[in-house]
């Protein structure tokens, strides 16, 4: 199975495109692929419970949720405000994941 790094930068306030992207992530995870969904910029707001239903579906199917520490801090979002299954990461973690040979990446 392929490993995917999906990067959401817009967040739920940008309209249905975000939810569709989260849906793609959930479907890939459901089909057995290893999927990391990285939320960055305004995308981090999707990790606030109740803002993006697709996140819960994604996590239920076994996806891994990463949230950019810098973007969350800039938006005054402490870890306590995020879904407990989110992992706060640095850009170095994202670079390491991106450089893994079998990882495919999409920026949205």
Partner 1 sequence: MPRPVPRTDVLLNLFGAPHQTDLVTSALRLAAALLRRGARVQIWTCGDATRLTGAALGDTKPRDYTDLGREHPSTARVVRELIEDHPDRLYWYVCRFCAEERGAAEQIPQVRTRAPFVFAEHVNAAGKSLLMGVC
Beta bridge partners of 105: 5
Name the minimum Å distance from CB 40 to partner 1. Answer: 6
Q: Where are the beta strands (DSSP E) in the chain?
A: 3-8, 34-39, 64-68, 87-89, 103-107
Closest CB to partner 1 among 19 and 41? 41
| Using rule CB under 8 A, residue 77 touches partner 1 | no
Q: Do residues 58 and 28 lie in contact, with contact meaning Cβ atoms separated by under 8 Å?
A: no
Q: Are 63 and 87 in contact (CB under 8 A)?
A: no
Nearest-approach distance from CB 107 to partner 1, in angstroms: 5
Of 9, 45, 57, 83, the one binding partner 1 (CB under 8 A) is 9
Instruction: Give the footprint of partner 1 on this chain (CB under 8 A).
Output: 7, 9, 40-42, 70-71, 74, 90-92, 94-96, 98-99, 103-107
């Amino acid at each position: 199975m392929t490993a995917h790094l999906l990067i959401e930068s817009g967040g739920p306030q940008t309209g249905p495109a975000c939810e569709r992207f989260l849906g793609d992530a959930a479907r890939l995870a459901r089909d057995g692929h290893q999927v990391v969904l990285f939320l960055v910029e305004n995308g981090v707001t999707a990790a606030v419970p109740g803002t993006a239903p697709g996140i819960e579906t994604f996590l239920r199917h076994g996806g891994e949720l990463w949230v950019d520490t810098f973007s969350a801090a800039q938006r005054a979002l402490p870890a306590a405000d995020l879904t407990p299954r989110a992992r706060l990461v640095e850009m170095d973690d994202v670079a390491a994941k991106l450089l893994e040979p079998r990882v495919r990446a999409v920026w949205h």
